[in-house]
A and B are shown apart, each in its own frame.
Chain A
Amino acid sequence: MRESKVMFLQYMTGLLILVFGSFHVLLISFLAPTPDKILYQYANIAGGHTLIGGTLFYSTVKAVYSNLLWGSFFELLLTFLIYHIFNGFRIILSEQFPGSKSEKVITYSMLIIGLIIYIYGSRTIVLMLTGGGL
């Protein structure tokens, strides 16, 4: 792909991450499916912390993950993020180690590492959508 197209996609994915990322932040604050909308709710037990509620409590997170709409949303956000981040890493590394040979090594390394993390992240989303988790 031509560098101008790669960079155009870098700008576009950046803007899409801004939109989708904002919803991701809203999901754990204003849109949180809990009555008090706090992140952590602990039980008052001496000598340790026991999570009993909050936006990050297991059943709340599982309910969000199991929702097809939020699941698809996470998958799209992950796609945009992986492209934006690993292309960003590629740009930084290519500038640090210039040359056609090193650029090829950097490009393919970023592609492979990016794909591995993308598959791993997608695995969580798909498994949760298909009734995964205990």
Chain B
Amino acid sequence: MTIDNKKGWISWFNPIKYGSDRWMYSLHRLTGIALGLYLIAHVFETSNILKGPLTWNNVMIFLDYPFGVHFGPEILSLILIAAVYHALNGIRLTITENGLMLPKPYRPEYPYKPRSLKGLNNFLKILLGIFMIIISVFGIIYIFTGWLP
């Protein structure tokens, strides 16, 4: 059976009536695609180690100074933020989508707001935000300065 998916990926960006869960879903997909493409590039980039020190070091310099501009740390920071978001949101999804720690069964009452999207889910979202800020800040400081706590 074929079912039309008329809106497709454009609907990822329609948060009306859906709220923050929808935005987090869209971001999870976008960061997933970006990180997936990064891994493919990373596999090909690291294979240059087989070509010897001159090629490898030149590739590393190119990644730090793409086309002569020192833009490597900014790119690395974006990858870090995407990875941290995808990982932390992935933990939240593993917990909530698998029905772990669901609230006790309750009688559905108008306006039928699902409790599974409140409580623990909201708590996990706040935790995600806090950890994301901490890890990203320390990571970006390390990328730009080499400072480790």
Across chains A and B, the number of contacting residue pairs, with CB separation under 8 Å, is 100
| Contact of A97 with B5 in the complex, beta carbons under 8 Å | yes
The distance from the CB of A128 to the nearest CB of chain B, in whole angstroms, is 6
Shortest distance in angstroms between B43's beta carbon and chain A's nearest beta carbon?
A: 4
Is A39's CB under 8 angstroms from B91's CB?
A: no
Query: Known contacts being A96-B5, A98-B3, is A39 close to B143, with CB within 8 Å?
Result: yes
Chain A contacts for B8, CB-based, 8 A: 95-96
**What are the residues of chain B within 8 A of A15 when measuring CB–CB?**
90-91, 94
Known: A51-B60, A58-B56. A18 touches B87 (CB 8 A): yes
- B11-44 Cβ-contact flags toward A at 8 Å (1 or 0): 0000000000000000001001101100110011
Asked whether any CB of chain A lies closer than 8 Å to the CB of B51, the reply is yes
Smallest Cβ-Cβ distance to B47: which chain A residue: A124
A59 and B148 CA atoms in complex are apart in Å by: 23
Say yes or no for B134: interface residue by CB 8 A criterion: no
Q: Are B49 and A124 in contact (CB under 8 A)?
A: yes
**Complex CA distance for A57 and B61, rounded to whole angstroms:** 10
Please classify the interface of chain B as helix (H, G, I), strand (E, B), loop, or mixed, using the class held by over half of its residues. helix
Question: A133 to B94, alpha carbons, bound, how many Å?
Answer: 40
- Chain B, residues 111-149, CB within 8 Å of chain A (1/0): the string is 000000000000000000000000000010011001010
The answer to whether A51 touches B57, judged by C-beta atoms less than 8 angstroms apart, is yes
Report yes or no: B146 in contact with A59, Cβ–Cβ below 8 A: no
Residues of A within 8 A of B3 (CB): 98-99
The 0/1 profile, CB within 8 Å of B marked 1, for residues 45-83 of chain A is 000010100001111011001000000000000100100
Q: A49 is contacted by which of B39, B53, B61, B142 (Cβ under 8 Å)?
A: B61
User: Which residues of B are at the interface with A, using a C-beta cutoff of 8 A?
Assistant: 1-5, 8-9, 29, 32-33, 35-36, 39-40, 43-44, 46-47, 49-53, 56-57, 60-61, 64-65, 83, 87, 90-91, 94, 98, 139, 142-143, 146, 148
The 9 closest A-B pairs by CB, nearest first: A134-B52, A38-B146, A58-B53, A85-B36, A99-B2, A121-B43, A51-B57, A124-B47, A58-B56
